[in-house]
Every structure is written in structure tokens, then in C-alpha cells.
Amino acid sequence: MRGGRRVWAAPLGPGAHRTARPPTLGYVTIAPLPGGLAVRTRLIDDPGRLIDLLPDAQNPLAWVRGPDGLVGWGEVARFTGTGPERFTEADTWWRSFTERLDVTDEVGTPGAGPVAFASFTFDDTSPGSALVVPRVLVGRRDGRSWVTEFSGDGPPAVRAVSPVRPTGTLRFADGMLPVAGYRKAVAEAVRRMRAGELEKACLAHDLLAVSDSPLDPRFLLDGLAERYPTCWSYAVDRLVGATPELLMRRTAGIVESRVLAGTIWPGSGDDLPGQLMGSAKDRHEHALAVDSLAAALRPLCESLDVPETPGVIALHNVSHLASDVRGTLRPGAPASLLELAEAVHPTAAVGGTPRDTALRVISELEGMDRGRYAGPVGWVDGNGDGELGIALRCAQLDGSVARLFAGCGIVADSDPEKEAREAAAKMVAVRDALEAEA
């Protein structure tokens, strides 16, 4: 037990899988660490497309962008936590875990050695934040490929491949907040902003997609990665998505972030980039998001480069205003990726301004638990390096049901009908990938 949280470890057999509540038998707490547990990273020949290596649909783990990234399977250990200290507790557990390992790293690059895939809830009170340590991981970066494997008292890892299952026929149903309710929530948020209560709130709604058979997260992951190769496609604990927004990358003492806010979509007329750059509403929304990130990072950085003017990134379904922020950490500042995540989450890109007021308004007007939607998702290695995106354009898979999410940044000039159309345009990413033919 650490900080009032019980941490569970998977048995070291092949195909280890964890449900939200551990079964009575077959699982032990992570302390003490299983004896003789070692991890080795070695170079390998190019393994081909990383997503194609994922062996089964139980709990595939992935963080890929184009040809590079990380995929993993099996489960050595996991952390789960809830509450405002979940990032700190996860960081403490991860440091303790890695310090006890016998590590052989023959590659020496971020993502080599022990790695945990990470997914955190948006809200402090939501359950489900987790670090998952895969038994086997395959990575590729800058033309080099490697495999990381745990060994110990258990049997050797076995990669039993099962065919990817296409989705089949889908039926759609309202989630906890239907579109009509979303429009009302947006209208109320706008009223409060015009009354001076707050400047921005990022409101979301959900949609259920129901299949006749259990959904295979690899099918959705593959479809998203194919359609959105410049996004970070991810799968952690059956939360599957492709995010264009990078919350934080840490490489030694350098931190980087890609902030997105302000959106336009096909059907909005000609010259979409020009319209977006010329929109006072979208530029204001974007500036609030950038300012909130910069304000959180400045006390931690000895230098911080914040662009004065955003650019535009164009995706298959929408275009966004984007700013890439880069800084050098101050000596003695929070050192690890998870500590940085605690410092900046949630930015105004997915929360609002002022933060505390916006979070209260989101909770009141949405009336639903977002779970891990809009929370940090990605990976962290034993040096505290890694990448965390914001879990956007995603679905939480549960058996034959996928819960899809989409949201928009709401400011005083927002129009409820237009914001509902924007959310629908964002949801196209997951809907198309789910409904694609095999």
C-alpha cells in the first residue's frame, strides 16, 4: 500500500490481463517485487509496422506516430490511483518499481529499458488512472528498432497471435449527455461567460456505438493510425484514440508541448486556414490555452519559447490552430514526466479559464463522468522521460460497446448549434475507423 492506494501486479505468465477490480486469486501486491525480476533492451532488425505486432485483443498497449513509437503486450505490474495526488503517487510507485529492477539497456534511447504506458482520468474524482508495465515491448525511433523483455520467476513470454476482428454492424445510441443536452450546456456556459463568471470552458458529450460482438481495440487503433499518421495513436486499458495534441514530452531536461485550440472543418467554406487564422473567436480561445500552459511551465523552466502567432495543422476531418512550446527545465524543478503532468493538467485547451471555475462549470453542465477522455495518455520510461498526449478523438471499449467522446472550447462568442457541429466533425475520426470495412 502507498498513499492509501493498493497496487496490483500481474502474474508473469503469458497473456496477463487486468480488470478494473482484481480477482480474488492469482494476483499479489507489487511489494515485495517478485524475486529475480530483470529487464533487457536489445536492438533488433526492423520488425515492420508496429501495430501489426500486437498479438491479441485483451489489452493491447500502443503509442505510435507514423512508423515510430512503442507497442506492448502482457502485464508485469500496474498502478491504479484516484484523487488529486494520483500523478505524484504514480510517479512514486514508478520510481520505486524501476529502482528494484535489474536493467540491461543496450540501446540507450528514450523508450528503452523499463516503460510504463500511462492513462489518467480528466477529473480528480474519477477512478481509472493507471500505469501498465508490459511484459514485452517493441519500439522504433530514428531508424533503430528494439525489444524490451522482462524475465523472472515466471515462464517465458509467449506471443500467441489472434486475428484482428473487424467491428461489423454498429448501432448508435445516446450516451450520458446527448447532443440536445450538449447544446443546452453550451448555451448555459455562454450565458455565464457573458455574465463575467468565466472566460472559457471546454464542454464535451458522448455517444455509444454498439456491435453484435466484442470489439477488437486493434481494429480501431489500426484504422485511426492509417487515417491520422501525424497524430499520436494510442491504446491503454482499452481507451483507444488518435490525438493531435501533445500535452508534454520530456527528453532529459527539455520539455515540449503542442497546444491546440480553435477548430474549423470541411464544409465551412473556402480557405479554411485563412478563416481560422482570421477568426477572433478562435484566436482568443487559442491564446487562453497557450497562456495557461505557459503560466504552469514558467516556474519550472529557466527558459521557455512560446510562439507569438499560432500555425494551422490540417487533419482528415478538421483543422486546428496549433502552437509548439519548448522549454529547458530549471535545476531542482520537478524532474519527471509525471510530475510535469501534475503541474500542467488540465490546461485551458481541455479545461478552461479560470481553471477552478471552469472545472466546476464543466461538472455542473455536463453531468457525466468523462473518465479518461481529455486526460493525459502516453508512456514514461525509467529515466522519467516520455510523452503524454491529451486523450482526444477516442473511445472507451467495453465488450461490444464503444463510448465515443468529443468536445469544444466554449467562449462568450460561441454558438451552441455550431459547437454541436464541431463536436460531430471531431467524432468522425473514431466513427469512420470503427465502421470501416476490414
The grid cell for 91 is 510517479
Tell me the pTM. Answer: 0.90
Express each pLDDT in 13-44 by its tens digit.
333 333 333 322 222 223 344 556 899 999 99
CA dihedral 372→378→382→383, nearest 10 degrees, is: -110
Instruction: Report the alpha-carbon distance of residue 172 to residue 241 in Å, rounded.
Output: 18
Give the C-alpha distances (Å, rounded to integers) separating 198 from 69, 194, 357, 360. Answer: 39, 8, 7, 11
By C-alpha distance, which of 136, 159, 149 is closest to 41?
Answer: 149
Residue 337 CA to its chain's centroid (Å) = 14
Q: Please give the backbone phi and psi of residue 179, each rounded to the nearest 5 degrees, phi first.
A: -60, -40
Express each pLDDT in 225-236 by its tens digit.
999 999 999 999
CA dihedral 279→280→285→291, nearest 10 degrees, is: 120
Instruction: Report the alpha-carbon distance of residue 89 to residue 87 in Å, rounded.
Output: 5
Please give the DSSP secondary-structure letter assigned to residue 156: P
Give the helix/strand (H/E) hosting 22: none
Q: Which residues contact 150 (CB under 8 A, 6 or more apart)?
A: 12, 37, 38, 39, 76, 133, 135, 136, 157
What is the set of active-site residues? 200, 245
Side chain identity at residue 330, one-letter code: R
Domain extents in the chain? 8-151, 170-231+251-371+386-435
3-class secondary-structure state, position 50: helix
CATH assignment of 170-231+251-371+386-435?
A: 3.60.120.10
**pLDDT tens, residue order, the chain (438 aa):** 223 222 223 333 333 333 333 322 222 223 344 556 899 999 999 999 999 999 988 899 999 999 999 999 999 999 999 999 999 999 999 999 999 999 999 999 999 999 999 999 999 999 999 999 999 999 999 999 999 999 865 555 556 688 999 998 999 999 999 999 999 999 999 999 999 999 999 999 999 999 999 999 999 999 999 999 999 999 999 999 999 999 999 998 999 999 999 999 876 666 778 899 999 999 999 999 999 999 999 999 999 999 999 999 988 889 999 999 999 999 887 789 999 999 999 999 999 999 999 999 999 999 999 999 999 999 999 999 999 999 999 999 999 999 999 999 999 999 999 999 999 999 999 999 999 875
DSSP per-residue codes, 330-363: PTTS--SHHHHHHHHPSPTTTSEESHHHHHHHHH
Instruction: Report the alpha-carbon distance of residue 147 to residue 411 in Å, rounded.
Output: 46
